[in-house]
Amino acid sequence: MSVRNFITANTKILCVIGHPIEHSMSPIMHNAAIQDLGLDYLYIAFDVPPNKLKEALKGLKTLNIKGINITLPHKENAINFIDKVDEIAQKIGAINTIKNEGGFLMGRNTDAEGANKALIDAGCEITGKNVVLIGAGGAAKAVSYSLVSDTNKITIINRTEVRAKKLASELKSRAGLNIESKKYSKNILKEEISNADILINATPIGMFPAIDISPVSKKILHSDLFVFDLIYNPLETQLIKDSKEIGCQTLSGLDMLVNQGALAFEWWTNRKPNLELMKLKIIEYLGMK
């Protein structure tokens, strides 16, 4: 038996932090990649409430955790508690990955590149399209950043209007494109979706365990939409199910998750993981639940 099959005092630790964290598939895919490559690493998850984020990051630094993924609701706030943030993540205003180099925490955002690759691989034409983006948090920032230079128009819809306005203002300052912000309501969604080519859900609405709800009524969807739901647990959210029934092209958050995770994995370990294996293990796990 290989020594790498044992957890020892030399085993390097990677993790994900969020709140709640029970839904995360990151340990499934990262540990599969670790085992596949025979690396002496272990990936685990920590539930960190928002008021404990600063303490948690300080503790992870002290414990020499080598790599950290950041998920809801910490992607924006984590920037304030690390030592260095790369240029792209600074522009986005959110991080999802941290690397610990001898107690020096470096942050970056792999969500934007992961989302862009997922859309391209799914055959979604972005250039010149009208996009409706629901949400204005860290994930929404990353996805909108990946789209902003190519689309015709982005309309950001959020329950807290001030957050939508802030994100729209930031995007305008970078690209000067046609970007609007509006407060979430059924009437606004109906109006904007009727003229949209791409609909993106960047909120947790429909995420496990509340899998029977959707941020968008089935009645206002139309078959010309490409619907991208960033949620990956469940693989088919209520929004994705409704969209398929209408005849929309759809994309779940699974490919974005795997893409961004692979980029983080390579940054931490200097090894390229098997993306198909990572994806397969998540599908297998969710299929058993």
Active site residues: 75
Distance from C-alpha of 187 to C-alpha of 238, rounded to nearest angstrom: 20
Q: List, in sequence order, the alpha helices (H) in the chain.
A: 26-37, 53-62, 87-92, 111-121, 138-147, 161-175, 186-194, 238-246, 254-269, 275-288
Write the Ramachandran bin of 229: left for phi over 0, alpha for psi from -120 to 50, otherwise beta.
beta
Q: Tell me whether residue 69 is exposed, middle or buried, using C-beta atoms within 10 angstroms of its C-beta: 0 to 12, 13 to 18, 19 or more.
A: buried
Distance from C-alpha of 203 to C-alpha of 222, rounded to nearest angstrom: 20
Q: Tokens representing 180?
A: 């609007």
Distance from C-alpha of 43 to C-alpha of 255, rounded to nearest angstrom: 20
Residue whose C-alpha is closest to residue 99's, from 270, 272, 258 = 270
Q: List, in sequence order, the alpha helices (H) in 70-199.
A: 87-92, 111-121, 138-147, 161-175, 186-194
How many other C-beta atoms lie within 10 A of the C-beta of residue 3? 9
* Main-chain dihedrals φ then ψ at residue 131, nearest 5 degrees: -115, 135
DSSP bridge pairs for 17: 46, 70
